[in-house]
Amino acid sequence: MPHTKAGRAFTELILETFQFNGRLLAAGDRLTKPIGLTSARWQVLGAIEAQPLSVAQIARKMGLARQNIQRLADALEKEGIVGYAPNPDHQRAKLVRLTDRGRRATRDLSRRQAQWANRIASAATHSEIQAALELLKALRVRLEAERRLANLD
C-alpha cells in the first residue's frame, strides 16, 4: 500500500526526529560533561526533580526499559547524586530521590540548559515551537493509544 501524503510526511518526520534526537543527546552530553554526567543520567534526574519515583515509574515516564533506568539509578547512587528511599506504596520498589548533590547538579544543569535553549530557540518563533510541540504531543498520544490497543489483541 502506498503512503498517503500525510503518511509520507509522517515518515519524513520520524527520520528527522531520529536525527534530531541524536543531536539532542550529543548536545546534552556537552552540557552535562562539566558536571560529570551524561544525557541519560540527566534524563533520570529530570524525571525525579519534582518528586521521587520508583525505577519502573521513571522508565514509564521516559519510555525506556526498566533495566536501563535501574543501571543508571545505581550508578547515580554510587556517585551520591541520588539515593533510594522507602516507598509507602510498594515495599520492594524503592523510590529514587535526589540528594543534596543531585539538587545542586540539577540547578546547575537548568541554568546551562536555559542559556542553550534560548540560543537554539532563537531560530524560530514561540508560535512555531508551540505548534511543533502540540503536534508531537498529539502524535505521541496516538502512538500510546495504538500500543495499548495492540497489547489487548
Residues 25-55: pLDDT tens digits?
999 999 999 999 999 999 999 999 999 999 9
Percentage of the chain with pLDDT > 90?
86
Tell me: the pLDDT tens digits for 7-31?
Answer: 999 999 999 999 999 999 999 999 9
pTM reported for the whole predicted model: 0.81
Domain 5-122 falls under CATH 3.20.19.10: no
Give 152: exposed, middle or buried? Use CB within 10 Å, 0-12, 13-18, 19+.
exposed
